[in-house]
Amino acid sequence: MSSRIDVCVLDDASAVAVAAAGLFAELLRRRPDAVLGLATGSTPEPVYAEMVRLHRDEGLGFARARAFNLDEYLGLDGDHDQSYRFFMQKHLFDHVDIFPWNTFVFDGKTADPEQECLAFEAKIRAVGGVDLWLLGLGTNGHIAFNEPGSDPTSRSRVVTPDAETAEANSRHFADPAEVPTEALTAGVSTILDGRQIVLVALGAHKADAVARAIEGNRSPDCPASLLQGHADCTFLLDRAAASQLS
């Protein structure tokens, strides 16, 4: 089966960041109250830096936007410097005019994780769905914390990240033993319900996962390959990440 994923290969990380931020800028200019779907991790950092620049230098407005984040560690407070809430404040929310009450990141300290997931899905429904999800990609093909084997119909839920993911994420923690063993994540279906998806991947260490996502079978073995079923999905890649594509 041929993939429906659009692929755009650019020279380097900064060109990819400009292109990804440009998609959000175009959306916000067309629809100022757009619903943004956001990711954390190393890959989106330059994307957010470009969004902040567009806000500062070109007046890109977020005052009517709503933003939902893909995932959060279970057990970490939003003030913890490794929480995804902390990351979003640091890299985007504190530097643009988005209102705090319009930013939705799972509460990692929730007493009722299942209810937190149901509430997250309900909030997305209440605002009419996500217009544009920004995704990164795990070296094992994960999207958000949907690890290999994730059900294509899955919704937001509590998950246990794979050892490979925990190992990759441990680089951000002073002590690897501190990496939370559970997380809250948007499901594969929650992501596929978005009207538009842009996945960003940078570097040779993502090349194998990129090739499996785009040219491999559409299978839960590589959750990103499930994006092949989406009508408007683009992969923005640097040359290294695209190097194993035929």
> Are 36 and 84 spatial neighbours (Cβ–Cβ below 8 Å)?
no
CA angle 145, 234, 13 (to 5 degrees): 80
Is residue 144 close enough to count as binding ligand F6R by CB under 6 A? yes
Distance in Å, CB of 231 to ligand F6R, minimum? 21
Tell me how far, at minimum, the Cβ of 2 lies from ligand F6R, in Å.
25
The residue within the footprint of ligand F6R, chosen from 5, 70, 130, 209 (CB under 6 A), is 70
**Selected binder of ligand F6R within 41, 46, 141, 194 (CB under 6 A):** 41
43 belongs to the binding site for ligand F6R (CB under 6 A): yes
By CB under 6 A, is residue 131 in contact with ligand F6R?
no
Euclidean distance between CA atoms 215 and 225, whole angstroms:
8
Estimate to the nearest angstrom the gap between the alpha carbon of 80 and the chain centroid: 20
**For residue 1, which amino acid is it?**
M
Q: Catalytic residue among 50, 55, 69, 71, which?
A: 71
Quick check: is 217 catalytic? no
Whole-angstrom distance, CA of residue 168 vs CA of residue 56: 33
Q: Does 140 bind ligand F6R (CB under 6 A)?
A: no
40 binds ligand F6R (CB under 6 A): yes
Active-site residues, by number, are: 71, 140, 142, 147
